C-alpha cells in the first residue's frame, strides 16, 4: 500500500490546469504545423498561420491559447494499492482547479446551476472521472474543455441494423452540422457501444489520445482514416471559411453493447485540444 | 480583398464591405456575450435604455480571460454568435452596425442585417492570444458584476476580421457550403 497525500494531488492539478491552457502537447502542435502545408485554400492557410502565431504568442506572453479556458475535465486512474490521505480526493482536485485558474489568469467559466447560472468565480467544480486500476500510482489527466465545440457534440442511439454505414453517417452529420461553430480544424472523439453514458465517456476519452495513433481494431482503424478523409472533403475548412483541413484527427473507442442497441457519441473538440498527463 | 476601416462606422461605410473581405478594424468596439445580451434585452423590454449608445457601433461577442498586471486584457477571441441570435435583431433595429463573433447566424439575424445595412464579421475562433495583441485598452462600462461577461469598451488597432455576412445578405459560410455541394 502506497500513501499519497492530497496536497500532492492539488499541486499537480493546479500546475496542469495552467500548463494545458498555455501550450498544446507536441502531437497537437505537430498536427497543426502539418495542416498549414496541406491546406490549399488561401483564406484557410491564412487562418492556420494565425493559429501558429497564436500558439507562439500564448507561450511568449504566458497567456491562455484561447480565452475559453474550459470546464476542467479530469480523469483519475487510481491504482488500487494507493491510499489517499489528508482529505477527500475530489476536494483536492477541486482545490487544484481553484488555485490553477486563479494563479494562471484563466477564465472562470463555470456557473453553479444550469438554470440559475451564477458564476462560481473559481471555475469549480471540475468534472471528475475515476477509474480504479492495477498498481500503486495515480495517473492524472487534465483536459480543459471549451464549450464552442462541446455544444456541437451529439449522441445518436442508432438501431443495430444501421450498422457501420449508419455510424459513419451519424459522425459525419455531427461534423457537418457543427460547421464553423466548433472552431475547425477539429479533433473528433467518438464512442461506439456501451450504454447512453458509456459511449459519451468513450468519446471524451478518445480526445486525449495522441494525434496519429489509431485504434488497434482493424475495422475501427480503417473507419478513423476514412472518416478523416470524408471530413476533409466537406469544404468547411479552417475557421469554417472554406478549405480542406476541417479535422486533424478522428479517434474512435468501442465497447461491448446490448443486443438491442448501437449508441454513438461524437465529442467534437476545437483545434485547442488541451490535455496534460502526469503519473504520481 | 484586404481593407482597413475605422470603428464606429456608418451605413455608407458598411456598403463598401463584401463577404470574404479581410478587414483590419481600428477604433472603439464594445464586448457583450450571453448574460449581457440577456440584460440589454430585458432593459429594452422594460422600456429602459441600453448602457451605451449603440448607433453605428460594433459589438464583439467575447469574454476575456483575466489580464496580467500591466496588460490591457487577457486572451480575447470570439465566442459562438448564434447564442446571441435571439437578442440581436432588436439591437440591429436600434442602429447596431457590426458584430464580431464566429459561426452561423439565424434567418432572423440575417434579415435584420440586410434591413439595417449592417455587417457580421468573424474573428478566428481559438486565436485569443493573437487577438489580444490588437487590443490596446479595455474598460468595463456596464454590468461589472457579470465578471468576464461584463460590457467592455475596447480600443483596437488593426483588429483582424473576415466579413461573413455583408449588408446585402451575401453569406461567406453559405457560399463555402454551396460551392462544396456543387463539387460533390
Q: Is A121 on the interface with B (CB under 8 A)?
A: yes
Whether the predicted pLDDT of B5 surpasses 60: yes
Closest residue in B to A240 (Cα) is B173
Q: Which three cell numbers stand for residue A106?
A: 484563466
State the average pLDDT for chain A: 97
Which B-chain residues 8-67 have CB contacts (< 8 A) with chain A?
A: 20, 22, 35, 62-67
Query: Min CA distance, A148 vs chain B (Å)?
Result: 6
Mean pLDDT of chain B: 95
Q: Do A107 and B63 touch (CB under 8 A)?
A: yes
Residues B38, A115: Cα–Cα separation, whole Å: 14
The residue in chain A having the minimum alpha-carbon distance to the alpha carbon of residue B71 is: A61
Does the structure show a pLDDT above 70 at A87? yes
Contact criterion met (CB below 8 Å) for A167 and A266: no
Q: Using an 8 Å Cβ cutoff, are A251 and A207 in contact?
A: yes
Interface probe for B, chosen from A180, A185, A270, A271 (most Cβ of B below 10 Å), is A180
pLDDT value at position B1? Answer: 83
d(CA B124, CA A123): 25
Res B145 pLDDT > 60: yes
For A154-186, b where at least 16 C-beta lie within 10 A, e where not — what string? bbbebeeeeeeebbbebbbebbbebbbbbbbbb
d(CA B38, CA A108): 19
The pLDDT-based confidence of B176 (bands split at 50, 70, 90) is: confident
Residue B183 has pLDDT above 80, yes or no: no
Respond yes or no: is residue B4 known to be catalytic: no
**Cβ atoms within 10 Å, residue A40:** 10
Task: Please check whether residue B106 touches A, CB under 8 A.
Answer: no
Neighbouring CB atoms inside 10 A of A136's CB total: 14
Query: What is the average pLDDT across B52-78?
Result: 97
Reply yes or no on whether the pLDDT at A2 is more than 70.
yes
Q: Which chain A residue has the Cα nearest residue B165?
A: A241
Q: CB-side exposure of A204: number of CA atoms within 13 Å?
A: 19
Whether the CB of A253 is below 8 Å from some CB of chain B: the reply is no
B94 close contact with A: CB closer than 8 A: no
Strand partners, A111: A119
Q: Which residues from chain A sit within 8 angstroms of residue B1, using beta carbons?
A: none
pLDDT in tens, A194-224: 999 999 999 999 999 999 899 999 999 999 9
pLDDT digits (tens, 9 = 90+) for A158-167: 999 999 999 9
Q: Which pLDDT value is given to residue A94?
A: 98
> In the Cβ-directed half-sphere of A239, how many Cα atoms lie within 13 Å?
30
- Selecting from B65, B124, B127 the residue whose C-beta is nearest the C-beta of A106 gives B65
**Contact (CB<8Å) B172/A66:** no
Cα–Cα distance, A83 to B42 (Å, whole number): 53
- Phi, psi dihedrals of residue A55, rounded to the nearest 5°: -65, -40
Question: What is the distance of C-alpha A150 from the center of its chain?
Answer: 9
Contacts of B184 in chain A (CB under 8 A): 233
pLDDT band at B128 (very low <50, low <70, confident <90, very high): very high
Q: Between residues B181 and A122, which one has the greater pLDDT?
A: A122
DSSP character for B3? Answer: E
A67 closest CB neighbour out of B77, B172, B180: B77
- Give the residue from chain B lying closest to A41, CA to CA: B176
Q: Identify the pLDDT of residue A212.
A: 85
User: Confidence class of residue A175 from pLDDT cuts 50, 70 and 90?
Assistant: very high
Q: Report pLDDT for B95.
A: 97
Which residue is associated with the grid cell 502537447?
A: A25
Beta strands in A68-185 (DSSP E): 71-79, 82-85, 127-133, 138-145, 154-158
Phi, psi of A251 (to 5 degrees): -120, 125
* DSSP strands (E only) in chain B: 2-7, 22-31, 58-60, 98-101, 119-122, 135-142, 151-165
- At residue A244, the pLDDT reads 95
Best residue in B21, B63, B127, B174 to probe A by mutation, most A CBs within 10 Å? B127
Determine whether A263 is exposed, middle or buried from the number of CB atoms within 10 Å of its CB (0-12, 13-18, 19+).
Answer: buried
| Residue B53, helix vs strand vs coil | coil
Comparing C-alpha atoms, which of A168, A152, A155 is closest to residue A268?
A152
* Chain A residue numbers touching B130 (CB-CB < 8 A): 50, 53-54, 57
- For chain A positions 5-34, those within 8 Å of chain B (CB to CB) are none
Q: pLDDT tens for residues A106-160?
A: 999 999 999 999 999 999 999 999 999 999 999 999 999 999 999 999 999 999 9
Task: Report residue B182's pLDDT band, with 50, 70 and 90 as the boundaries.
Answer: low
Quote the CA–CA distance of B141 and B53 in Å, as a whole number. 12
Residue with cell string 464591405:
B17
pLDDT score recorded for residue B177: 77
pTM, entire model: 0.95
**Is B22–A183 a contact, with Cβ atoms under 8 angstroms apart?**
no
Q: Which residues of A touch B162 (CB under 8 A)?
A: 43, 239, 241
Q: Which of B66, B61, B112, B67 is nearest to B89 (CA)?
A: B112
User: Is residue A43 a contact partner of residue B162, using CB atoms and an 8 Å limit?
Assistant: yes
Amino acid at each position: 500500500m502506497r500513501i499519497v497525500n492530497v496536497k500532492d494531488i492539488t499541486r499537480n492539478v493546479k500546475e496542469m490546469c495552467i500548463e494545458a491552457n498555455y501550450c498544446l502537447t507536441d502531437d497537437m502542435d505537430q498536427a497543426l504545423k502539418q495542416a498549414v502545408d496541406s491546406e490549399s485554400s488561401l483564406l484557410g492557410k491564412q487562418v492556420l498561420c494565425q493559429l501558429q502565431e497564436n500558439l507562439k504568442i500564448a507561450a511568449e506572453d504566458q497567456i491562455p491559447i484561447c480565452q475559453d479556458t474550459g470546464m476542467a475535465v479530469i480523469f483519475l486512474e487510481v491504482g488500487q494499492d494507493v491510499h489517499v490521505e489528508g482529505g477527500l480526493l475530489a476536494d483536492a482536485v477541486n482545490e487544484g482547479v481553484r488555485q490553477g485558474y486563479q494563479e494562471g489568469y484563466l477564465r472562470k467559466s463555470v456557473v453553479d446551476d444550469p438554470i440559475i447560472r451564477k458564476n462560481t468565480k473559481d471555475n469549480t467544480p471540475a468534472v471528475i472521472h475515476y477509474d480504479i486500476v492495477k498498481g500503486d500510482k495515480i495517473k492524472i489527466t487534465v483536459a480543459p474543455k471549451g464549450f464552442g465545440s462541446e455544444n456541437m457534440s451529439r449522441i445518436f442511439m442508432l438501431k443495430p441494423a444501421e450498422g457501420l454505414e449508419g455510424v459513419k453517417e451519424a459522425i459525419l452529420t455531427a461534423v457537418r452540422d457543427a460547421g464553423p461553430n466548433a472552431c475547425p480544424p477539429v479533433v473528433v472523439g467518438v464512442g461506439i457501444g456501451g450504454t447512453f453514458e458509456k459511449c459519451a465517456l468513450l468519446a471524451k476519452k478518445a480526445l486525449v489520445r495522441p494525434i496519429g495513433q489509431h485504434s488497434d481494431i482493424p475495422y475501427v482503424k480503417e473507419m478513423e482514416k476514412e472518416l478523416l478523409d470524408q471530413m476533409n472533403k466537406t469544404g468547411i475548412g479552417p475557421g469554417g471559411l472554406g478549405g480542406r483541413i476541417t479535422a486533424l484527427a478522428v479517434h474512435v473507442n468501442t465497447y461491448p453493447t446490448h443486443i438491442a442497441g448501437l449508441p454513438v457519441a461524437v465529442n467534437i473538440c476545437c483545434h485547442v485540444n488541451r490535455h496534460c498527463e502526469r503519473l504520481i | 480583398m484586404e481593407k482597413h476601416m475605422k470603428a464606429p462606422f456608418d451605413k455608407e461605410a458598411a456598403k463598401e464591405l463584401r463577404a470574404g473581405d479581410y478587414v483590419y478594424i481600428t477604433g472603439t468596439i464594445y464586448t457583450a456575450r450571453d448574460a449581457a445580451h440577456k440584460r440589454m434585452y430585458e432593459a429594452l423590454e422594460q422600456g429602459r435604455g441600453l448602457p451605451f449608445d449603440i448607433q453605428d457601433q460594433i459589438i464583439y461577442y467575447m469574454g476575456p480571460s483575466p489580464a496580467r498586471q500591466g496588460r490591457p486584457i487577457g486572451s480575447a477571441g470570439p465566442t459562438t454568435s448564434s447564442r446571441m441570435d435571439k437578442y440581436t435583431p432588436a439591437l440591429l433595429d436600434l442602429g447596431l452596425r457590426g458584430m464580431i463573433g464566429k459561426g452561423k447566424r439565424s434567418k432572423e439575424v440575417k434579415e435584420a442585417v440586410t434591413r439595417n445595412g449592417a455587417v457580421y464579421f468573424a474573428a478566428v475562433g481559438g486565436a485569443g492570444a493573437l487577438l489580444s495583441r490588437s487590443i490596446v485598452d479595455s474598460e468595463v462600462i456596464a454590468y461589472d458584476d457579470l465578471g468576464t461577461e461584463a460590457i467592455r469598451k475596447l480600443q483596437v488597432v488593426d483588429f483582424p476580421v473576415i466579413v461573413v455576412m455583408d449588408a446585402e445578405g451575401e453569406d461567406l459560410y453559405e457560399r463555402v457550403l454551396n460551392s462544396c455541394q456543387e463539387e460533390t
